[in-house]
Structure formats: structure tokens, C-alpha cells
Structure 1
Amino acid sequence: MHALDTAGLDCLAALAEAGSFERAAQLLSITQSAVSQRLRALETHVGHLLVVRARPLRLTEPGKVLLRYARQMQALRADAARELGATLARDERLPIAVNADSLATWVLPALDPLVQAGQRQGYGLELIVDDQDFTHDWLRQGEVLGCVSTVATALRGCTVQPLGRMRYIAVASPAFIARWLPQGLTPANFSQRPFIVFNRKDDMQAQWVAQAFGLREPRLKERYVPSSEAGAHAAAMGWGIAVLPELLARPMILAGTLVQLRPDVTIDVALHWHQWRLGGDEGEASRGGPPGLMEQIGQAVIAGARQALAPAAEPPPSEGRPDAGRRR
């Protein structure tokens, strides 16, 4: 296949980002007709339909393959502009996917020095949030250049580094415990007490109950609160029992607004950092050049995680999703 047209790749990336031809045209500061023409030219060049023109539009499998390539080209272009001191006509997105619990605890402090340095030009860091068992799908589809995931096996063309283990504990407010759990949480009463759940992908609460009482697939009374921080506050307000990252719950426990239930029962979830290789298998830094923008982001994520999380288990898991179950 001959060299791909960068304008067409930019159109494909803009369509994936914007979800429509109109918004893609606005992002690129061109007309909708020009977007359509560039996309058709790219499709003709590669011999595949790349976008299903529906509402909302979606990428075909060949489109996802080229989207991965387009994202990598954008990141490399941003690196080149930074090193040359040039300003790009449009900010290049460097999207990474993280789970909500990591975002609520250690990811922002990890990235803060990089963001505050203020030395990057011509790109926009974007944080995309999904369940930590599903962030890897964003990477596979080319939507992001890096992700925090429970998956331990690297995709072809990607690198993977263990980050550590995030520990989860069960908590409730003192008032909730006094009213609804005077004898503690037991096999006889857990199904009658509400559990605060992030969303329907989140089964950490069921995993905790299963471990605490030796049950398989326990049924819970669920109250959905789709935010890590808001879920913690809902627990403090007495809405129910929450299974939270210890990093998030510990300050509230020390303040007396939450109490840990069954301290002997905890769940550890191993996290990993994945990112696409850019500019060669070993990266610019190993060849004597400055680290690229994605390398800097990856280094910051790894350093921040290893400060905040428990060390990765030895040996690390070899493949797939952990038994600990899904979590936001």
C-alpha cells in the first residue's frame, strides 16, 4: 500500500472524535464537502469503507485500523513540532483512557507536574473514563494512545508496564451502621441493605460480598451513583454500603465520616499501563533524543502509580482479566 494521505487520516480522526461530518468540519476548519471528499479519497486509496455514514456515524474495522495509525501520526507530529519550536495549526489530541477510581485518586496528581510544566505546545491531553476492564478496548480500537487497564498482555505494537495494586474496602457511615447494621454485616442481612454501585459494569460489591461470605453470585440491593467521589459522599450521607478504593476512603475514615466493614476482607486489583509504540520500538529517549509526549505521559503515569498503589504482585499475572472482577 502506498503512503497514506495525511489530510485524509486527519479527517478520519476528526470524524471519530466529533461523531459527525458537521462537527468534524468545524474541528478541521474546512467545509463538510471537503471532509467528505478527503474521506472518499482515503477509502478509494485503501480499498475499504472506513466510516458507516449513520447517526451517529461509526468506524468500520478497517477504519479502526487506520484510526490507530492516524492517532500515532498525530502524536509524532506533535513531538516534531515541539522539538522544532513550531506551533501546529490545530491542537493534536493525545487521548488516554483511565478508570474512574484511578482518576479520583492518583492519576491527576501523577500527571500534574507534566501539565503544570507548561512546556508542551500543539496538543491536547484528553482523559477518557471507562471501567478498568474496558479501557483496553479503547486502545485496541485506536480511540486512545494509552490506557490504565486490568489487562496484563500487550497488544501487538504496544508496550505494557505493571502499575501496582489498587486495594478496595467496604465502608458505611456511622449512622447507617447504627441504624441498619447494629450486629454488623452478615450473611443474613446483606441482601436487605443497599449497596452503592457505580454502574452496571461494576460488580466489585458482589465480589466483596462473595469473598466475605463464601457465596457465588450474590444478589444485592443496588443504588447507582456514577461517580467515584459522589459514591463515597453518598456512603458518608448514609445511602448505603460502598466498596471503595482505600486511597479514596481512608481520609474519610480518619475524619470519622466512614467506617470500614470487615477489615479482614479486601480486594486487590492489579493495574497496568499500555501505550502504543511511537517512533520505533525503543522510543526516542533510548536513542539519545528527548522523550516524546506519549513517553512523558507514560513515565508520569507509571511513577505516580508506583507512589500511590501497592506494589505489583510477584510474579505479575500473565494474561487476561483478574478474578477480582470489574470495576469502574
Structure 2
Amino acid sequence: MQDLDPAALDCLAALADEGSFERAAQRLSITQSAVSQRLRGLEQAVGQLLVVRSRPLRLTEPGKLLLRAARQWQALRADVARELGESLRAQARLAIAVNADSLATWVLPALDGVVQQGLADAARDGLGLELVVDDQDFTHEWLRQGQVLGCVSTVSKPLRGCTLTALGAMRYIAVASPGFVERRLGGDAAGGLDAHNFAAMPFIVFNRKDDMQALWVERAFGVRKPRLDERYVPSSEAYVRAVAMGWGIGVVPELQVREALARGELLALRPEVGVEVALHWHQWKLGAQAAAGADARPASAALDRVGAALVAGARRALGP
């Protein structure tokens, strides 16, 4: 394999982000022809097809492998520029994948110091933070495909070339509005929901990847693969609002509804039952240190700062 052209790697990353040659050209301030030429040169250098020209375009497996290299190169380049006191003409992208419940609770406070520092040093900050949201069981796939440099995930085994740090456990509980408890559960939050009536009760579900409600029912009543009456609300904040409005039963992070419970706006159902979800932080080891073994620290200072902030913030919010 020939040496890889950094400009061609930038093109590959832009194509992955933008989904078309036209938008990638606009992002890079070059012509579509130049994007095509650089991509062809990269494909010739590795001897494999990297991009399927569909709408939207998609990367092949070799393309995903090189995308990881492109992300890592961009992060390292930004670090070098920052150390030299230079500003990058184009802002690099530092993308991380997080689950919606973490984003709605502890992620933003955890990252606030890092972001504020970047704003204060905007002239030299060469990285643009991007938060990609997916279910906690699927964020790891974004990392594997090279779309992000780090992720918050339930996966407990690191990819080769990545580090893994335990963040703590997020506890999920079942809640409902006082009106719902009165109408549907006989006013009994502690025991009104049982193995005989749960199937007739509406449950609020985030999206079709979300199985937290079924996991809670399994834990509460010992029912394998329960069938639920589901109503979908794909937003963490709107989800809690729908539960408070009496749309149905929600299974939510205790951290997210602690204040609503204290105010009596929501009631915990069978409060002794909870589902603990262990979360982990994964990030790529960048540069020469990636070959130094599993205990090597990442070479990218920016990614290291983001990871350290997330680890500290999660442990403050979630506990051990």
C-alpha cells in the first residue's frame, strides 16, 4: 500500500459526514471533480473500493477502516497545530457517540468545562465537538465504523486499538403521573401494577431500539419477553413530559426524574424494582502510542480531555 494522502483522507471524511460529493466539495471549498480525483487516488493507493456511489453514498468496509485513520489524523493534526500556537484554516471534527439518556442527564454538565475552555481559546481551538446520539447498545457500532473517536456504551469489551473505562451504572425505574396511578392503578403506586394487569397498561417507549420497558417488566414480574402496549416518544425530555401528562408508564433514569419525584409530579411504581445499566467510555488510541499496548494513553490531547471530563462527570453523577 502506498503512502496515504492526507488531503484524500480529508475528502473521505467529508464524504462520510455529508453523504454526497456536492456537499463534501462545499465543505472542503473545492470542486466536485477534485473530490472525485482525490477519492480515486486513495482507492488506487489501497487497491480497493472505498465508497459506494449511491444516494446517500455509503462506505465499504475498507472505507470504514480508512475513515478511522482519517478521524485520527485530523485529531492529531489539530493537536500539533494547537501545540505550535497555530490556528487551523478548517476546523477538525471530534465526534463522540452518546446515548440519549446520558445526554439528557450528565453528559452536558460533564463536558461544560472542556467546551467553555475551547470557547475562551477559540483562536487556537482546532476541533469542533459533535455529539452523535444513539441507543447505548448501538453507540459502539459508530466507533467500530470510524464515524466517531469515542463513545458511551454498554459494551464492556474494547475494540482492538481502543481504551475502555468504566463510568458507573445508570439506574432505571418505572414512573407514572399521579392521575394515571389514580385512574388505572387504583391509586396504589407501590403495588397497583402487577403481573396480571401490566399487559393492559400503556408504556411509553423511546424508539424501536428501546427495550428498557420490557427489561423492567421481566425484572418486576419474572415474565420473559413480555408484550406491551407501546406508545413511542423519541426524545428524552418529551418522554418524561408525556409520562407526566398521563400518557402511560415510563421507565426512565432515576437521575432524570429525581426532582419530579420529590415534587410529586411523578410517582415511582414498585420502587424496589430497578434496572441497572453499566456504562463504559471507549476511545481510540491515536498515533504512535496506539502500538504501545492496552495501557497507553491516547495521543490526542483534545480527545483525552473529552474522555477525562466524561469519566469524571459520570462518576460524580452515577456513583460507582
**TM-score per shorter chain, which class?**
over 0.9
In 1, Cα distance between equivalents of 2:158 and 2:81:
29
The corresponding residue for 1:10 is 10
Which amino acid in the other structure matches residue 46 of structure 2? V
Per-residue deviation, 1:291:
6.7
Q: Tell me which of 202, 207, 211 is aligned to 1:203.
A: 211
The corresponding residue for 1:296 is 305
Q: Tell me which of 216, 220, 229 is aligned to 1:212.
A: 220
Deviation larger for 260-269 or 112-121: 112-121
SS in structure 1 opposite 2:27? helix
Q: Tell me which of 240, 253, 269 is aligned to 2:277.
A: 269
SS in structure 2 opposite 1:116? helix
Which amino acid in the other structure matches residue 92 of structure 1? A
Which amino acid in the other structure matches residue 299 of structure 1? A
In 2, Cα distance between equivalents of 1:82 and 1:238:
51
Q: Tell me which of 117, 142, 145 is aligned to 1:138.
A: 142
Distance 1:40 1:290, change over 3 A: closer
The corresponding residue for 2:92 is 92
The corresponding residue for 1:234 is 242
The corresponding residue for 1:104 is 104
The corresponding residue for 1:128 is 132
Which amino acid in the other structure matches residue 310 of structure 1? G
RMSD: 1.6
SS in structure 1 opposite 2:230? strand
CA deviation profile, 1:211-243 (whole Å, cap 9, x unmatched) = 111111111000000011111111001010000
User: Are residue 172 (structure 1) and residue 176 (structure 2) matched?
Assistant: yes
User: Are residue 155 (structure 1) and residue 159 (structure 2) matched?
Assistant: yes
Contact 2:285 2:299 in 1 (8 A): no
The corresponding residue for 1:308 is 317
Q: Percent identity?
A: 69
Per-residue deviation, 1:157:
0.6
In 2, Cα distance between equivalents of 1:169 and 1:87:
47
TM-score, structure 2 normalization = 0.94
In structure 1, the gaps of 5 or more residues are 312-328
Per-residue deviation, 1:188:
1.6
SS in structure 1 opposite 2:109? helix
Matches within 5 A, 1:246-265: 246-265=254-273
In 1, Cα distance between equivalents of 2:10 and 2:149:
15
SS in structure 1 opposite 2:55? coil
Per-residue deviation, 1:273:
0.2
Per-residue deviation, 1:123:
1.5
Per-residue deviation, 1:310:
2.9
Which amino acid in the other structure matches residue 307 of structure 2? G
The corresponding residue for 1:72 is 72
Distance 1:130 1:296, change over 3 A: same
Per-residue deviation, 1:163:
0.3
TM-score, structure 1 normalization = 0.91
The corresponding residue for 1:222 is 230
Contact 2:168 2:278 in 1 (8 A): yes
Per-residue deviation, 1:267:
0.5
In 2, Cα distance between equivalents of 1:158 and 1:27:
29
Per-residue deviation, 1:87:
1.2
